[in-house]
Amino acid sequence: FTGMHEVEGMAGAQLTSDAFGSVLSWFPYVLALAVFLFAFSTMISWSYYGMRAWTYLFGKSKKVEFVYKMLFLVFVVVGASVSLGAVLDFSDMMILAMSFPNIIGLYLMSGEVKGDLDDYLKKLKSKLLFNSKGKE
């Protein structure tokens, strides 16, 4: 509708900002705020989930949490200093690295999970779950 996709050399957030700006002159400011809030909330959530995983692996103590927070701050500064492609590649590799232990754990526990699923389905079919009297 705006024709901004035909402009050479524009991509990503700049393309979106210019496209909305060509229709509503004030919208690039709203988009900039939304991008900032998204980036901030992503850092907060990754920090929280990372802290939970870190304390699970290394124990919960003030010293262990402090080490994690310092490492996280170092990576925030490094991430803000290097190219976006490098940040995305690194975060993708870390997510992949976290998935390997989970996949192995899922494989090792597949028998137990299957048994629990069968038990759940049996209870569900016999209407033992979610009844109005609160019984299991």
- The pTM assigned to this predicted structure is 0.60
Check residue 10 and give its pLDDT.
67
Residue 50 contacts residue 68 (beta carbons within 8 Å): yes
End-to-end, the C-alpha distance of the chain in Å comes to: 56
pLDDT digits (tens, 9 = 90+) for 87-122: 999 989 988 998 998 899 999 999 999 999 999 999
Given a cut of 60, is residue 132 above it in pLDDT? no
Measured from the Cβ of residue 94, the count of other Cβ atoms closer than 10 Å reads 13
Give residue-wise pLDDT tens across range 9-66: 666 677 777 777 777 888 888 888 998 999 899 989 989 999 998 999 999 999 999 9
Give the residue extent of every domain in the chain.
1-81, 83-136
- Report the Cα 67 to chain-centroid distance in Å: 22
Q: What tokens appear for 27 in the block?
A: 């919208």
CA distance 8 to 3: 11
